[in-house]
Amino acid sequence: MRIVLIGPPGSGKGTQARYLIEKYNVPLVATGDLLRAAIAAQTPLGRQAKAIMDAGQLVPNDLVIGMIRERITRPDAENGFILDGFPRNIIQAEELNTLLNNLGRPIDVVLQLDIDFDVIMQRMVGRLTCVSCNELFNSFTNPPMIDGRCDSCGGPLHHRADDNEETIDRRLRIHHTQTQPLSELYKKQNKLHIIDAQGTVEEVAKRIKSALRGMRSKKVNLQSISIAQAINEERKKKSQKRPEIIRTQAEEEKPKRPARKKRALSGVVKKKVIKKKMPVKKAAVKSVVDDSEEELKEIQKQLKAAQAELKKAAQIEKALLKKEKEKDALRKKKLKEETAKLKKAKNKR
């Protein structure tokens, strides 16, 4: 299932994305996470994005689209993906549609989480995020068991500096003017489902489940970017440009006897001139074929180089994930030790 989540900041997109990941066994594709991972792995796109961000500019759409393309063509996205954080406006939505249609992986459904302003304000002002595992808490509605510590991994909890009333109000205004028109676009495409995002996490998840009941993702050709298809397409283009070879055979024709005229002014009969078609030279045809084969070989070479680059990036990402797991294990161990100490201290009292 290929799902796009849209809605104002604090509407619960990240929380509900976890429910969808477990239900459909597909990865979450969050553009913010993609940018950070690409920069950390120092991929070609990551290096370009870092240079632009260091200059204080926004990352252009083509770079973000490139990262999304690389992510959704990995094996774990074979059955679909959950897209969060992109698109944010009509231009990005059109570019995303072009990409997914070219890959044969169009969007199945768009879920818009709808919520009141007051509820958003309470959620975002009290929002706490685990630095290690990204687990979400709220100091008002869902506080952690130990202040400043994650219940899952024991990592430190972080409150974003921009989660204040003034900044939230500005972000909601931007959302209304830029992101809200997306709902009209997807409504015309019969892909939009508006979900009431007020209530508990479980209640919202039930509404999403009801909206997606009976939906099935369209079958797609998962090898649409393979080398074989690229070569076949190139061959097709070249074959259309090749000159048509016309084979003719010159045949000797016997001159026909002219019909006798009753009153012939002269006894001279004009012979019919036969024009023979000249065959196309084989050398010219062979030259065109050789050029086509060389171009195809060059395309194969470029595709192999691109695959090697993607494989290298995947290995780097795997190594980073392994390090993060080791860090999480270490934090959990420390948390257990601290909890044990607290228990001992309580028992002594």
Pairing of strands 81-84, 127-130: unpaired
In what side-by-side order are the strands of the sheet with 136-138?
136-138, 127-130, 157-158
304-323 per-residue burial string, b: 16 or more CB within 10 A, e: under 16:
eeeeeeeeebeebbeeeeee
Which entry of 2, 13, 149, 207 is annotated as an active-site residue? 13
Picking from 149, 109, 104, 112, the residue whose alpha carbon sits closest to that of residue 131 is 149
Distance (Å, rounded) from C-alpha 284 to C-alpha 278? 14
CA angle 265, 266, 267 (to 5 degrees): 135
Tokens of 272: 């019919």
3-state SS of 198-245 is CCCHHHHHHHHHHHHCCCCCCCCCCCCCCHHHHHHHHHHHHHHHCCCC
Which entry of 47, 160, 301, 334 is annotated as an active-site residue? 160
Q: How far, CA to CA in Å, does 230 sit from each of 10, 219, 236, 310? A: 43, 21, 10, 17
Which entry of 171, 191, 235, 238 is annotated as an active-site residue? 171
Question: Active site includes 127?
Answer: yes
Question: Active site includes 71?
Answer: no
Question: Active site includes 256?
Answer: no
3-state SS of 110-173 is EEEEECCHHHHHHHHHCEEEECCCCCEEECCCECCCCCCECCCCCCEEECCCCCCHHHHHHHHH
Which entry of 71, 123, 127, 331 is annotated as an active-site residue? 127
CA angle 297, 303, 304 (to 5 degrees): 90
Question: Active site includes 171?
Answer: yes
Which entry of 69, 74, 88, 332 is annotated as an active-site residue? 88
Q: Which residue numbers are catalytic?
A: 13, 88, 127, 160, 171
